[in-house]
Structure 1
Amino acid sequence: MNYLAIDASTEACSVALQVNNKIYSCYELCPQSHSLQLLPMVDKLLKEANITLSQCDGLIFGRGPGSFTGVRIGVGVAQGLAFATDLPVFGVSSLQAMAQLAFIKAKETKVFATIDARMGEVYNGYFELDQYNIMQAHRLADQQDEAVTEPALVHQRLDEIVTTPVYGVGTGWDAYPRHLSSLKTNVGTPEILFPSAEAMLVIGIAALKRGEGVNAEDAQPVYVRDTVSWKKLPGKE
């Protein structure tokens, strides 16, 4: 079976394609040009694999959290491609994808993922490997799988569930080292900073095979932070 995955939720833009168990992938750091890169990447991989989009069995997309603009671009492209070919779609968390990448690359089975959410906050989630080798989110002290949290309060989310430091991935660690560095076992900048479509393939294929795919019109972003409050400039109240 053939599956396509796309992601534009962070500074990284990536596409991965599985055709008869062979993986084709593109990955590029291009913070300002996701809308220009995503479709050419898809076209390139389809040509490399010598198949058409209609020969795919499902489409997987990065649903966030991350850049609001990037998430919207990824979801929009996924919807357009799926509408054109009537493919089922499945959205994968960018935090979960980084945790899955930690298992793929380093065989880590307990991972805390963070993304710098700007405005003095981080998106974050804790993941553990299940019996099917998929990293699954665990609800923490605040009963949320994924949250946007002030760095100084992140340890409170972990305290009741995770009693020792775990492997860290994502951009939040370098953004707020004073508050976060003691929570991870790996020292310094994490090897894994961004999600990849290749890791999303693993999670999404398993979900699609379980029948969890939805129609294109039901593909939804997950921002975690649903509203943005802008501080008014002096004289602009």
Structure 2
Amino acid sequence: MRLLALDASTEACSAALLVDHEVLERYEIAPRRHAELLLPMLESLLAEAGCALGQMDVLAFGRGPGAFTGLRIAAGVAQGIALGAGLPVAPVSSLVALAQGLYRECGAERVLAGIDARMGEVYWGACRLGDEGVMVPVGEEQVCAPEAVPLPPAGKWHGVGTAWRTYGAALAARLEEYLADREGERYPRARDIAILGAQLYRQGGAVDAARALPVYLRDNVVAKNAAALHPSAVEPQEDDPPCS
């Protein structure tokens, strides 16, 4: 399998190329430079591997949750490349990618992944090790206050992501009996999105480029984005009755 992957869901920016079982990656902590870096990263990976875009089977990207601007950039780049090359797209959860990275580096099989969502909230998801060394979600992803994150199934879990850096004390107090350890200075990486995207593609979960959309989790962000794209869908029409 040949797969390109990219992520811009947090301060980190990364791209990866998976060819069979070998992964090449470009990774940089680069707030507000994702639009500048993503395409050159992808081009350099293809050049290093001696591959052409037309030889790829699928493109994977970090669909979120995460930073609003970064998610829009990643989705736009993924859609543009996939449409131009006629590739399917594998949208991968940024939270599951965090968990996959912790498993890859530390062997953690049960992970509580959290990304700082600002405004006193976290993007949150629990993951466990599934088949073929790939992490899978446990329950639904959500955005909530750190004091209100859902309790995981019994056992010891490993915390990872910027939510643990910003709200570590509140999360530890909430999850004290479940927590084995925590790492707050980790970000989703394209090399892990590549592994997850390949699994999704093999399972028939890839989508057409037009359906490669970001996942924000926050309703107000989604509503604002919808209003910008389709004002008539959210603005009252002349025939609408007045609000009481």
Fold equivalence (TM over 0.5): yes
Aligned to 2:201: 208
Structure 1 residue 132: Cα displacement: 2.5
Where 1:202 maps in the other structure, the secondary structure is helix
Aligned equivalents of 1:192 and 1:74: distance in 2? 21
Structure 1 residue 23: Cα displacement: 1.4
Aligned to 2:68: 68
Larger radius of gyration: 2
The answer to which structure has the higher helix fraction is 2
Aligned positions of 1:111-150 closer than 5 A: 111-139=111-139, 145-150=140-145
Aligned equivalents of 1:148 and 1:195: distance in 2? 17
Aligned to 2:148: 153
How many aligned residue pairs are there?
219
Of 186, 197, 201, 2:181 maps to 186
Aligned to 1:25: 25
- Work out whether residues 113 and 125 of structure 1, in 8 Å CA contact, stay in contact via their aligned partners in 2: yes
**Residue-by-residue CA offset, 1:36-79 (whole Å, 9 max, x unaligned):** 00000000000000111111000000000000000000000000
Aligned to 1:233: none
Aligned equivalents of 1:193 and 1:106: distance in 2? 12
- Give 4+ residue runs of structure 1 displaced > 4 Å after superposition: none
- Work out whether residues 101 and 192 of structure 1, in 8 Å CA contact, stay in contact via their aligned partners in 2: no
Aligned equivalents of 1:10 and 1:53: distance in 2? 26
**TM-score between both structures, scaled by the size of structure 1:** 0.88
> Are 1:199 and 2:192 an aligned pair?
yes
**RMSD between superposed Cα atoms in Å:** 1.7
**TM-score between both structures, scaled by the size of structure 2:** 0.86
Structure 1 residue 134: Cα displacement: 1.4
Aligned equivalents of 1:69 and 1:29: distance in 2? 15
Where 1:16 maps in the other structure, the secondary structure is strand
Amino acid at match of 2:91: G
Aligned equivalents of 2:31 and 2:211: distance in 1? 26
Identity across the alignment (%): 44
Structure 1 residue 151: Cα displacement: 1.2
Amino acid at match of 1:65: P
Aligned to 2:241: none
Of 139, 162, 166, 1:175 maps to 166
Query: Which residues of structure 1 form unaligned runs of 5+?
Result: 140-144, 231-237
Amino acid at match of 2:213: Q
> Are 1:162 and 2:162 an aligned pair?
no
